[in-house]
Amino acid sequence: MTAATTPAKSGVKSVPGAPLLELDNVKMHFKTKGDGFLARGTKWVQAVDGVNLTLAPGETLGLVGESGCGKSTTARLITRLLEPTGGEIRYQGVDIAHMNERRLRPYRREIQLIFQDPYSSLNPRHTVGTIVGTALRTHDMVDKKGELARVQELLELVGLNPEHYNRYPHEFSGGQRQRIGIARALAARPKIIVADEPVSALDVSIQAQVMNLLENLRKELGIAFVFIAHDLGVVRHFCDRVAVMYLGRVVEQGPRDSLYEAPQHPYTQALLSAVPDIAVVRGVPPKNRIRLVGDVPSPVDPPSGCRFRTRCWKAQDICATNDPALEEKAPAQHVACHFAAPPAESIIAEVV
Amino acid sequence: MSDQTTQAPHTVARVPRTPSANEEPYLEVTDLHVQFPTADGLVKAVQGLSYSVPLRRTLAIVGESGSGKSVSSMAVLGLHDRRVARITGSIKVGGREVVGMSDKDLEGYRGGDASMIFQDPQSSLHPYFTVGDQIMESYRAHHNVSKRKAKERAVDMLGRVGIPNPRRRVDQYPHEFSGGMRQRAMIAMALVNDPKLLIADEPTTALDVTVQAQILDLIADLQRDFGSAVVFITHDLGVVAEIADDILVMYAGTAVEHGPVNKILGEPLHPYSWGLLESIPALTGEPAPLHPIPGSPPSLLAVPSGCPFHPRCEFKDRVPDDLCRTLKPELISRTADLGRTSRCHLKDPDKVFETDVLPRLP
């Protein structure tokens, strides 16, 4: 592996022909304190347990799933805010999973993160110019003279008034703050942006504005996105490919259209059928909703075999004993289920 | 292993709502104004709001943050501190006037005839008391019964809202419940006194979609059983389409459109409603660029003159004489259909919707 790497000018190495980003059996197990003496009773929260994902340049990959499924942990692993307890995270073929901070520095520039909450992710005591300028300085993007000009350029790029660089975050609305967060992520000229619920804290009309902005940036700058959201409509709008996570694992992934029109994993089907659809009032006959029983099991002690089996209507004995692997069931559509099959009829009501 | 060997999922039919009939209103809000004097000036949170909800009906109040939807609903329950809020107008619940009600009367009214489900069950349940204690307290405040009787009632209610093993759960603390179960416990608490009016303030916003689906089904079931009037506050138009009979769209403290849900979401007549519909990505079809409403909602300290929506409205040029900027339109019926009202100066909003808006809806 290392023999084939070619050092680039920026300090980022790459293996020719390797995908932009590759997660290979990545695991993140957090230790919980046991109630026994010394370390007895220590348990491990299996937040992410064997996730495989790939991302091509300029591609958008959506990560969906319910709270506690590990999608935010995955975002923090990709950006290396967390060090995984197992597996490899390869950026252009180079494993960055356990790299030390000094060697990681150039890679941090390439992969940036946008946070969910535009209120807590900006320092209230810093001006917008400082917030975006710090990102420029940290990554040595411009010399001191050019800093202000670049900050203003970035603010303009995300649709803010460049004259407002000396204002503080509280002077901006929620949507504008999210734009500041986006400008800060763009400062390093990243190849990948991991967006963790970037629009879910915003009002509907503002949400659409920010989504259009992200869409334009993606087209103009060719940045690849890992887009995390729980709103399936938003993900469908933005992403080329979608991966569905449940209890720390990817249960299904595939191209957007096949995943939404012919989901094969029972959990994906349940998730899609639970989305309230506005088309009902336009005379579209309402679809039956799959009701899942019970709650998501604890990631400390996940079910044996298939992790969804405790809530699955298709579950058989084999599901408890054999852990289904992600297999290609349709072109580019990978499903981890022993009984994967598209639904008898479309889950999403068709607008006629 | 589960004993389910069938290969069919457990499904729930989504029942389309029947159109509303003319019934005696249980909740009647007339010309409600809520204002908060602050150091920065007077915050006009609600301005001249009127609506009514009969028993067994659900009204959805839709709007963005700062539209006054929560403030007006809190006024219905008498939850505003009268030293801080100036409330004028009338709120009649079952014939009783709530505005200006004495604290003592309010105590009997709140949690009895009317109750509320809040958005965040985590912060609305007291972490120090068991779930059962909190439900019992609410029941005993309105019924002169023994603790044992009240506990029986609490267990019964937890069972009703679908919490498994309620006899054990009743003695547990909120942190031992999952998010969906906490919201169920809140609903149990809100319904323990058989309220005739239930106000649900974004009850599913903090929940995952599968849990949201369970809670929406539950509220609909309970409404059928208890025959309550429900006011459902949300910003999710998909949820509205499923659960509401009528819908009230609010913007900057005023109602901009009001009527049956299929009419308002099917053929809305107000540019703000159009903008909301155009902002929601669809689950089918080829994704097209969204047409968001430009700008952001106004500060309630300085509500724009005339129609409060005019600074963000793309159709204001079609109204002559700069009317949108100078004169606030009335909330009246704009078309032959008298069952619905909207607040807009446009001459023929139905035609504008057909020609300009409908083709670009996602």
| Model pLDDT for residues B136-181, shown as the tens digit of each residue | 999 999 999 999 999 999 999 998 888 888 999 999 999 988 888 8
Has residue A12 been placed in a domain? no
Do residues A75 and A243 touch, judged by C-beta distance below 8 A?
Answer: no
B66 to chain A: closest CA residue? A203
Which residues in chain A (143-162) have CB-CB distances under 8 A to chain B? none
For B302, the 3-state DSSP assignment is: coil
* CB contact (8 A) between residue A277 and residue B10: no
For residue B187, give the H/E element and its range: helix B179-191
* Average pLDDT rounded to a whole number, residues A55-77: 92
The rounded distance, in Å, linking the Cα atoms of A248 and B331 is: 51
Residue B149 C-alpha from the chain's centroid: 33
Q: DSSP character for B353?
A: I
| Statement: residue A73 has pLDDT above 90 | yes
ipTM entry:
0.83
CA-wise closest residue to A289 among B241, B285, B217: B217
Q: Which of A206, A267, A289, A339 to mutate to test the interface with B (most CBs of B within 10 A)?
A: A289
* pLDDT averaged over every residue in chain B: 88
Has residue A309 been placed in a domain? yes
| Statement: residue B22 has pLDDT above 70 | no
Residues of B in contact with A344 (CB under 8 A): none
Grade residue B250 by pLDDT with cuts at 50, 70 and 90. Answer: very high
* CB contact (8 A) between residue A205 and residue B280: no
Has residue A340 been placed in a domain? yes
Has residue A307 been placed in a domain? yes
Q: How far is B40 from chain A (nearest CA, A)?
A: 15
State which amino acid sits at residue B13: A
Domain that holds residue A325: 266-352
B244 to chain A: closest CA residue? A281
Please state which of the ranges A194-203, A247-256, B45-54 shows the lowest mean pLDDT.
A194-203
| pLDDT tens readout for residues A257-303 | 999 999 999 999 999 988 887 777 666 666 778 888 777 888 888 99
Has residue A27 been placed in a domain? no
A33 against B82, higher pLDDT: B82
Q: How far is B25 from chain A (nearest CA, A)?
A: 24
- What pLDDT was estimated at residue B4? 44
* pLDDT averaged over every residue in chain A: 88
Helix B179-191, helix B209-226: angle, nearest 10 = 10
Q: Is A341 left (phi over 0), alpha (psi -120 to 50) or beta?
A: beta
**Least CB-CB distance to A278: which of B7, B237, B285?**
B237
- What pLDDT was estimated at residue B1? 40
Do residues B283 and B271 touch, judged by C-beta distance below 8 A?
Answer: no
A280 to chain B: closest CA residue? B241
| pLDDT tens readout for residues A99-118 | 999 999 899 999 999 988 88
Has residue A282 been placed in a domain? yes
Has residue A313 been placed in a domain? yes
| Statement: residue A147 has pLDDT above 50 | yes
- What pLDDT was estimated at residue B2? 42
A245 Cβ partners below 8 Å, 6+ apart? A51, A63, A64, A65, A69, A70, A71, A74, A251
How many domains does the structure of chain A reveal?
1
Q: How far is B288 from chain A (nearest CA, A)?
A: 8
Q: How far is B243 from chain A (nearest CA, A)?
A: 10
The rounded distance, in Å, linking the Cα atoms of A306 and A250 is: 11
B19 to chain A: closest CA residue? A281
Grade residue B118 by pLDDT with cuts at 50, 70 and 90. Answer: confident
Has residue A222 been placed in a domain? no
| pLDDT tens readout for residues A184-211 | 999 999 999 999 999 888 888 889 999 9
